[in-house]
Each structure stands twice: as structure tokens, then as C-alpha cells.
Amino acid sequence: MKKIFLKIMSMIITVPFSLFIGLSTAAGSIIIATAALFVKQKKAEKVVLWVFSWWRQSLLRTARVKLKVLGRENVPSGGCLYVFNHLSHYDIPVLLEAIPEGVKFGAKAELFKIPIFSQAMAAYGTLKIDRGNRQEAIETLSKAKSRLASGESFILAAEGTRQATPGIGEFKSGPIIFAIQAGVPIVPVVIYGTDKILPKGQLFLNFNVRKDVTLEILPPVPTVGYTVDTRDELKNKIRAMFLASYEELKKRDNFGL
């Protein structure tokens, strides 16, 4: 009975909040798309950063998420590729709060089919990743190499998609190859706790959980000396870093630290 009651309460509380998420995302997308059409590039970029700041803070504060960020000192000064473990839709506002402004995301191709939202993502320089077409996904990353090498930073999901269960999934090779060919370091970003708030396959936020989230930025991993042929060596090295960090964050959570 208690579980049923909590589930009903969760729905009652989060239905309006879910509507708020949808409306705020739509409003932000309209503002960004409009700015891209009618405002000069530099001013449009400022508009995008303002929208992202407002959107992420609205989602985190309204849901009462308590975010702890570790390792900010590991953020490099130049261009790099951030890779993160994907647990929940809530990873995005958490990442926007933790990583430097202006970092470009990769997004699944399906999101580019949503009117206005797709124009907003394109205006911001988001990479369109077709998960169903490996060759096209590789070509998208290949075309963006020059942007990465010139000093832009990107962030991609190491596993390619949200995980159905808590933990670190298997890593994709695409992001590793992307960084190797551009000659930039890879910065691992470990997220713990967002799956408790909004796990994959669930529409409503969980009502009866602590909304404590920890994000740890690990030291950059140089790609110098690695080639496409040795990508698995680098991929396994980075995944081992994720596993160690995630387990440590899990222990801290169990002890309430």
C-alpha cells in the first residue's frame, strides 16, 4: 500500500512539473531559434547561454536536486572532448550546471525531427548522431573534427544512450576515434544519482527518493600516441576510470557522505 501511495503522490506532484519541463523547453527552443534567424551570431550565442542557464536552473531548483560537483580543477583550458555516462534525461541540466559554458552536445537524430527544437539545436551547433546508422554517425563526427581541433569542446555520451539499469555500460568507439583524430584530450565526466530521480523509461520523477546527485570531472586523458587501431586500449583505460569513480561515489552515497 505504501508503494502504491507513494507512486500516486509522485504522479500528482510531477504531472504539473512534467508540463513545466515541456513548456520551458519549448519556450527556450523558440527563443534560440528566433535569435539564430534575426540576431547577429555573437549576440545569438549570448542568448543561447542565457536560455541554457535559465532552463537548467529551473529544472534543478524545481525538482530540488542537490548537486555536488567534484574535480572542476581538471577542466582543461583548450578544446577537448568530454564523455559522460548516461543514466537519465536529468543528466543534461546537471551537465550544463557543471561543465564550462559553450560546450557543444551530441544528440540522437530523432530529436532533430521535433519542430523548433531541432532548429534550436542546429543553431547551437549540436551534433546530429544517427544511432541506427553507424557510418553516418562516424561521418558526422569526422566532419566536426576541425571544430574540435580548432578549440571548440564537445560532450558525448560514452555509452551512446541512456542505461536501463544503474552503472556503467559498454562504451562506443565513435567518441574515442573522434578525439584521437582531432588530437585532443578526453575528459571523463562521471554522474551518479540521476537515475534515482528519473530513470530510463519513466515519465514521472520519483517522489520518495533523495535527490542527491554527484558529478565528478576526472583528469584529462591525452590521446597523443593512440591511433584508430589502438582505440580499444584507450577506450578500456577510460572506462576503467569511470568504473572506479562510480564505485567510489556509490560508496560515499551509501555512507551518506
**What's the CATH code of the domain at 191?**
3.40.1130
Q: Along the chain (257 residues), what's the average pLDDT of each consecutive run of 10 residues? A: 61 63 68 67 72 83 89 93 94 93 82 74 76 76 81 91 92 92 95 89 71 95 96 98 96 71
Per-residue pLDDT at 139: 79
pLDDT of residue 109: 77
Q: How many CB atoms lie within 10 A of CB 3?
A: 8
**Whole-angstrom distance, CA of residue 25 vs CA of residue 117:** 8
Domain tally, the chain = 1
Per DSSP, what are the bridge partners of residue 128?
107
| Host domain of residue 28 | 2-254
The pLDDT score that the predictor gives to residue 148 is 83
Which cell goes with 59? 529544472
Confidence (pTM): 0.84
- Identify any residues that bridge with 199 across adjacent strands, giving them in sequence order: 88
CA distances from 184 to 216, 220, 226 (A): 20, 9, 11
Give the closest residue to 168 by CA, choosing from 87, 91, 71: 87
CA atoms of 9 and 124, how far apart (whole Å)? 37
pLDDT at 16: 66
